[in-house]
Structure 1
Amino acid sequence: MEETISLRDLFQVLRKRLWLIALIAIIAATISAVISFFILTPVYQTSTQILVNQAKSEQQLYDVGAVQTNVQLISTYNDIIKSPAVLDKVIDQLNLDSSAQGLGGKIQVTSSENSQVAQITVQDTNAKRATDIANATASVFQKEIPKIMNVDNVSILSKAELTASKSPVKPQPILNIAIALVVGLMVGVGLSFLLEYLDNTVKTEQDIENILDLPVMGVITNIKDVPKATNVQRPDMTARVSQRGETFGS
């Protein structure tokens, strides 16, 4: 026997368990809001930019080959910035209670394609500390790169500002609540269909026809109990007996 489910049946299932879907979605959104606002620690982000460009004399013309070399060096500089040779000095300079590996996890170095500008981005739970780490990393790298690679082609293009990192970049409560709400709705819908699938009780005549593949000939409706009458005057049994006695005596 092939069982088919219409779109109307699906809507009926959702309508039947709408309270369950709404309840799960509200619980998920509430849990997400509590975690985002009261449990997760805000993380602040700030960044500074460095320019990789060899200083030129007045007689030196624009050299395309030198520019391309500087662009290729940026990928090498990205690794050097996050190396202990630079980060250990940043830790000593700022008196940070962290290792070079731990500090490197807070720093991200990025650059656009074919660009001589690299951006040092720092994330930390303290906005001022994030700003100090970004500026100190750029400054230490500028001083150390001539010793490491015997080149002097790095300059600081812009420093990190504390005002730019006042608002935390994560967590994002509104986004987290929206995601939790969608996930809660999906879980609620899935659970509703699962409960409906596991429910094998017979409720309607249509269920009988689907199971037995036979037409329903008749239906017995539920008969409610007739309420007992109150304050009903009973017949006078004494009078009836006396009348019957007189009849028998005549």
Structure 2
Amino acid sequence: MTVLAAAIALIGSLFFALGAALQQYEAVGSSKPRLLTLLRKPRWAIGGISILIGGGLHIFALSAGPLTIVQPMGVASLLFALPIAAALHKRKPTRMELMSASVVAIGLIGLVLLVPPHDGPTYLSPQGLATLFAVSGVAAVALWAGSRIASPAGRAALLATSSGVLYGATATLVRVLVDGGWNWWYLLALPVPALAALAVLQRAYAVGHFGVSFASLQIADPLTAVAFGALLLGEPLPTGVAPIAAAALAAAGTVALARTTPLERNA
């Protein structure tokens, strides 16, 4: 079952990577990509379906195998996404791109494996929900504001990080709903950060540095979820030098991607 779970998670990563690459291909070059406009583009819509399939396979894999095996497989989506995006733009990924992406993946796997398990009850009070929205909203807006004065690569990274913060808030809310009992008010609140994250991510994709934006998203999403888990749900944080080293490795790989990934445009 462990081998099956790992294989399913790996296939899910491929679907997620394909979906991200397709959506970036349609969003790239747009000054103000709008969700309703993008939704009418078949390639972008297929990308969304692919992402949903990938997410479903990942959830199924988590139910069939241990977290320490399944989660690292999810990180593989970054290594899949770069070649797929390069092929869509009719080029080959460079060796430095793939090496930088591998460094990011190693750092992310280290972070995932170092997060301590938590078996306690998952509960979020209404005040906690307000804190979740306030903190993630302020952080996302601050990152978005900073992106307006950044270089193209920096803009892609900051916008994707803003999206990752909102997706991390969404993941926290999903965990509360699944593990802590269904609360219909929380369920109605779920689309707010999710749709905001999706909209901001398309802005990041539109810049053209796909490797940078996708890597930044992959880093910001789990880090935010872990931080909110500790802040609001009482979950333990990883301690010691190893988590810092893993985070530094992932950040260094992202910086390297910013220097090696070409600025892409959809002709």
TM-score, normalisation: structure 2: 0.23
Structure (1 or 2) with the larger CA radius of gyration: 1
Q: Counting strand residues as a fraction of each chain, which structure ranks higher?
A: 1
Point out which structure has higher relative CO (alpha carbons under 8 A, 6+ apart).
1
